[in-house]
Structure 1
Amino acid sequence: MTCLDHIKAHTYHGRKGPVSNAFRYAIDYVLIDLAADVSRPTLFSRNQFNLMSLFDSDHGGAPKAGRGLAWARDVLKSQNLPGQEQILLLAQPRSLGHVFNPVSFWLCMDAQDTLRVVIAEVSNTFGQRHSYLCHKDDLSPITAKDIVRAQKIFHVSPFQPIDGDYTFQFDIRAEHIGISIEYSRAGGGLIATLVGPRQPLSNASILSGFLRRPLGSHRVLALIHWQAIKLWLRRARFRSCPEAPQSDISR
């Protein structure tokens, strides 16, 4: 697989239940092998300020204090899981030093470039983070048709309770990324998708993305809060944020 890709993606969120809501917007992700020494375009930096950058401390552990790839490797090793041969991080990059990742994904591959495990790293706007360990019960390869389940235990939206279940689907190809997360609970739920083509990250693609979306993740946060205002105006029930789970990862 290519070590450093740019995914010009679209994300869709559709809320189900008595108070419905849906939105779709464009978003930039990068897919990177943090263990590889790859040639990078001049407008992208690792652990340094740039027009587009990615900091190890933004991922793998507590927000702003992450351990990056070392954390992901420790998770797989402690659980005796496959996929330790190559671990790719799919995440929104920093734009002019700022980032907010509602969800990032550690894609854990075997020696045949086959997806075996995914760590879905979820952050909320209250400064908390929790990760869901996604794999099949028999630890066989994850294909686009497979459904992987996890129990929801982390507060994401103040307009959704902490109960119910997630179902994940991962369609990871050399030319395309497609991820679906469906949250189901009694009386409601939502579906969220992330879909987009893969292309090598270049100065041209970085500039193109910046010109289309110059506010970067500031725009993402603004859109999240705008959707929250719309739900509040529709009288969706608001729930206060509880403490995060004691463990930073669950199945």
Structure 2
Amino acid sequence: MTHRPEQVAAVTTHRRRGSIRHSFRYGVDYVLIDPEVSVRTPLLFSRNRLNLASVHDRDHGGPLRAGCGAGWVRRVMADHGLADARLRVLLLTQPRFFGYVFNPVSFWLVLDQEALLAVIAEVSTPFGDRHSYLCHLPGFVPITPEARIETPKSLHVSPFQDVAGGYEFRFDIQPDRIAIQILHRNGSEGVAAALFGPRAPMSNAGLVRAALRRPLGALRTIFLIYWQALRLRLKGARYRTRPEPPKTEVT
């Protein structure tokens, strides 16, 4: 089954719980592609070369800025007992705009036909670290929208949160939309984050609208991260120094 490239004009929300409350909501543009097949794409989108919007294999799958793309995903899945060449691997990510990229989180979707068997949440930080979380149910049974998948927190993401507690993931991937929820719990503290939006075929007009709607792409993302960090600091949030990143690539 060939997957045609799609765009997701998404919304991301973050809500901090605990002694210092904080929340924000932003629009963000994602693409959903099959990185293992060559298909005709709009003129303004490219794979592994400069364009208005592009996705490069080295940005995903493995170490930050030294990724191996979908091949890395298949190796991870094989290491965890799911090696099947018939499975599809899709990448949900923010594209490069004019060559610049920063993705706080991208998602590798592993599917059997339309059934979602696993998701790898690929988390990157402004500190230059990356860690991925493999999400699946026992026996790799299909992930339903009601399923809750738990995993311990391993990566220092925010200087205002400890590397402690765990995540709860929920995935609702429909033919016309996506909705992903991530809840970090650490006692009475934590963060609830969500990403949701409609799926649509990728088009030149859609890419231009995304570039005009949210100029500078990933540079805007970096700016907003530091802006929210400043707001938290002014509210009195305690700063944590960056610990050593985890030794393993995947939790």
TM-score bracket relative to the smaller structure: over 0.9
TM-score w.r.t. the length of structure 2 is 0.97
Aligned to 1:146: 147
Secondary structure at the aligned position of 2:139 is classed as coil
Superposed displacement of residue 3, structure 1: 2.8
Superposed displacement of residue 214, structure 1: 1.3
1:44 aligns with 2:82: no
CA distance in 2 between counterparts of 1:37 and 1:230 reads 44
C-alpha distance after superposition, 1:47-74 (max 9, x if no partner)? 0000000000000111110001110011
1:23 aligns with 2:2: no
Return the match for 1:95 from 94, 97, 114: 97
Q: Say whether the 8 Å CA contact 1:83–1:115 is kept in structure 2.
A: no
Superposed, 1:1-251 pairs within 5 Å as: 2-81=3-82, 85-110=87-112, 112-250=113-251
Q: How has the CA–CA distance of structure 1 residues 83 and 188 changed in structure 2, closer, same or farther, with 3 Å as cutoff?
A: farther
Identity of matched residues, %? 48
Alignment gaps of 5+ in structure 1: none
Q: Say whether the 8 Å CA contact 1:83–1:109 is kept in structure 2.
A: no
CA distance in 1 between counterparts of 2:183 and 2:44 reads 35
CA distance in 2 between counterparts of 1:83 and 1:224 reads 38
Counterpart residue identity of residue 241, structure 2: S
Counterpart residue identity of residue 48, structure 2: N
TM-score w.r.t. the length of structure 1 is 0.97
CA distance in 1 between counterparts of 2:78 and 2:63 reads 19
- After TM superposition, the structure 1 stretch with the greater mean CA deviation from structure 2, 32-41 or 80-89, is 80-89
Counterpart residue identity of residue 97, structure 2: S
Aligned residues: 249
RMSD of aligned Cα (Å): 1.1
Q: Say whether the 8 Å CA contact 2:74–2:83 is kept in structure 1.
A: no
CA distance in 2 between counterparts of 1:201 and 1:73 reads 26
Counterpart residue identity of residue 69, structure 1: A
